[in-house]
Structure 1
Amino acid sequence: MKIIDVHAHYCPRAYYAKLECRKAAPYVRALKNGALDLRYGPGRSSHVREGMYSLDRRLEDMDAKGVEVQVLSPLLHGVHRLDPKTGLELCRLVNDDVAEVVQKHKGRFEGFAVLPLQGVDESLMELERSVRELKMRGVIFFSNVEGHFLDEERFWPLYERIAALDVPIFIHPTHPVNDKGMKDYGLISTLGFLYDTTLTMLRIIFSGLLEQHSRLKFILPHLGSVVPYITARIDKERAGPTNSQRNIQRSPSEYFKLVYVDTVSLHKPALMMANSYLGSARILFGCDCPFWGMGEGLESVRDLDISERDKENIFFKNAEGLLKLA
């Protein structure tokens, strides 16, 4: 069966090289083990290993596991701390590199573009270039822009243009807006990431963005974060004495069913619940490579007690339709 992986990361070594000469965040320092230490804010760091910027082993692994296509999402932690002009320059550098990778390995990789969201005008320019000239299949947004929420009105002209271009927005977690109590035990990535994407998606729904721009297509990774499990509570609270109903005409859960999720979970009961609640037509296959392995991600879906048609939807048909790959 054909397999398209929509949740895979890559960032060119050239991006990190640009940060090596900086003294303030974001900056990079080389470690003795060969990894890079990326510091992108107070108490915010990431260990970058070779698998993030080298795709040689990635292709070997894809061949061994039967993954035909990966959609590459650049993770530019810290880029939004920079001024819009510098942010645009770095985003252009990365997007150009991803486009070169796609051309070099035709049929194996596709790309999502990264935008300098600290500058909406700059983002609009790079969006147009990335989709029309570089043929990017979508865009990747962090779940917050240095503490600013994605539903803020200043971003709405960008959403309007994205809707017109008919490409999806992949919302990827970053350091959460509220990390209190999460700095111990690895809870930032374990819980904080899911908290932040859940908060972001609910704010997008309640803001009325999907009411006004129904053509927008969002991908919420990690099986939709927490949203699928609390939709009854969300709908119930929306009906209460709050202001949450002022911008939307339908139940929040109805808007969430317009969103795509990916399979990065590994938890069979959760995967089965997502298939039951959303239907296989809204689920995309993803591995979260290079952080998680391809094999375990593949097996988590292959082992599901669902029909072959559902598995086809998840493994490749939905991605082909959403990203116009067919």
Structure 2
Amino acid sequence: MIIDWQHHMSPRKVYEGRGGQGGVVIRDGKVTIHLKKEVYQVEKHLEFMAGAGIDACVISSSPISVDQCRMCNEYYHELGSQYPDKFFYLTPCLPLNEGAFDILDQGINEYGYKGVIISPQNAGEMLDSRRLWPFYEKMSAYNLPIFIHVSGHVLGYDAYDADYNLNIAFTREADIALNTLRLILGGVLTAFPDLTFVISHLGGGISSTLERIERYIDVRGEKFWTDCGGTPPFGAPYRENFRRLFDTLYFDMAGFEGGMNAVKCALTTIEPNRILFGTDYPYNFHTDGKDVARYIQDIRGLDLARDEINGMLGGNAATILG
């Protein structure tokens, strides 16, 4: 069974609330999203799945307001009755916004959604902000996964401002890699050991720099934190415990348009049983699904055991979804 972990749908009124026309959305001089009307056209998603050979999709969205979160929740509930075997759903959440937990509770308790989607940045706070502790406590009680999608509008990266599209191509990836590290180094995974996190876009390519980070932690030890006024969230041996926590994370394969170099790089530091197939449709790939079918064949051609490949393509996601 092939499961697309990162697949985006939202109702037409959310699309229209963002401008209602195909093309780019600009915020503070940065391109934050390329709007595509396919996002609300269910028949296009079914066509895509058929062409790609995808059996089921995990549906999510990244709204920019609590009202849009509510709209997505209700829309997914309608879809669930029409397509009970095609889609799983993650309830969208802006965890520091007023009323956000009411919508989260509705999605999980009333509608039976399989988890939650948030951004790496929330009201300007990073993932290790203590302001997010109540959210983590709630999700620990639910024992459901937290999907960390990229932030559309990232703060604190003024050096990346340019008259070309660094925001979508690179800045957001740097932000999600940074926040992946903060989950570990800032103590989230230590404080909430039972939480399941899925990080989008292979952690923003975090595998390419992970060895440097591990070695620096190994060399500095406790001073990695205390030199900066912090306290280690876990004890020695620091490098080994950092890696132990990193290995509890899941990562999806979306965001690279089927690029196998990114996948092969990820496999140097991420175990196959922690990788989930994803497409980022409709923001990546064409509706006919042919490019995705080729991507799946490329994944099947990896020098891995068959059960590991089957896990990446769907089995690992099925385990998380229960």
Q: Is the 8 A contact 1:287 1:298 kept in 2?
A: no
The Cα shift of 1:43 comes to: 3.6
Say which is worse superposed, 52-61 or 143-152, in terms of deviation: 143-152
| Separation in 1, partners of 2:62, 2:82 | 21
> 1:145-197: per-residue Cα shift (whole Å, max 9, x none)?
24221221111011011022111111111233214234333221111111010
Tell me what 2:150 maps to: 173
Q: Could you say which residue in structure 2 is the equivalent of 1:51?
A: 38
Residue 197 of structure 1 pairs with residue 179 of structure 2:
no
Aligned to 2:233: 247
TM-superposed deviation, 1:6? 0.2
Taking the aligned partners of 1:99 and 1:44, their CA distance within structure 2 comes to: 30
Distance 1:58 1:127 in 2: 25
Aligned to 2:305: 307
- Tell me what 1:292 maps to: 284
What are the Cα deviations for residues 187-246 of structure 1, in whole angstroms up to 9, with x where unaligned?
211111110101111112111111111111111111222322222221222241331662
- The residue aligned with 2:269 is 277
Tell me the equivalent position of 1:10.
9
Aligned-partner Cα distance in 2 for 1:156–1:291: 31
Question: Highest relative contact order (Cα 8 Å, sep 6+), 1 or 2?
Answer: 2
Kept in 2, the 8 Å contact 1:123–1:158? The answer is: no
CA distance, structure 2, for counterparts of residue 181 and residue 11 of structure 1 = 29
Return the letter of the residue paired with 1:263. Answer: M
What do residues 126-153 of structure 1 show as CA deviations (whole Å, max 9, x unaligned)?
Answer: 2222112111111111121242212211
Q: Hey, what's the Cα distance between the residues in 2 that align with 1:180 and 1:15?
A: 31
Alpha-carbon contact 1:166-1:215 (below 8 Å) kept: yes
Structure 2: gaps spanning 5 or more residues: none
1:112 to 67, 84, 90: 90
Number of aligned residues: 301
Alignment check: 8 A CA contact 2:120 2:148 kept: yes
In 1, the alpha carbon distance for the partners of 2:205 and 2:38 equals: 28
Q: Measure, in 1, the Cα distance between the counterparts of 2:81 and 2:112.
A: 10
- Quick one: percent identity of the two aligned structures? 25
- AA of the residue aligned to 1:46: I
Corresponding residue SS for 2:234: coil
Aligned pair in 2 of structure 1 residues 75, 153: CA closer, same or farther (>3 Å)?
same
Instruction: Tell me if structure 1 keeps the 8 A contact 2:201–2:252.
Output: yes
Residue from 132, 141, 156 that aligns with 2:109: 132
Tell me if structure 1 keeps the 8 A contact 2:60–2:89: yes
Alignment of 1:140-289 (within 5 A): 140-174=117-151, 175-177=153-155, 178-239=157-218, 240=220, 241-243=223-225, 246-249=232-235, 250-251=238-239, 252-264=242-254, 265=256, 266-289=258-281
Unaligned runs of 5+ in 1: 20-27, 80-86
String of CA shifts for 1:239-266, please: whole Å, max 9, x gaps: 4133166222343222111100112233
- Partners of 1:41 and 1:12 lie apart in 2 by 25
SS at structure 2 position matched to 1:8: strand
- Quote the offset at 1:42 in angstroms: 5.0
Contact 2:146 2:196 in 1 (8 A): yes
Q: The residue matched to 1:72 in structure 2 has which SS?
A: strand
Q: 2:78 is matched with which residue? A: 100
Partners of 2:106 and 2:45 in 1: how far apart?
A: 27
Which one-letter code corresponds to 1:60 in the other structure?
Answer: E
Deviations 1:71-101 (A, max 9, x none): 111121x32xxxxxxx2x3311211111221
Output the amino acid matched with 1:167: L
Q: Is the 8 A contact 2:24 2:31 kept in 1?
A: no
- Tell me the C-alpha RMSD between the 2 structures: 2.1
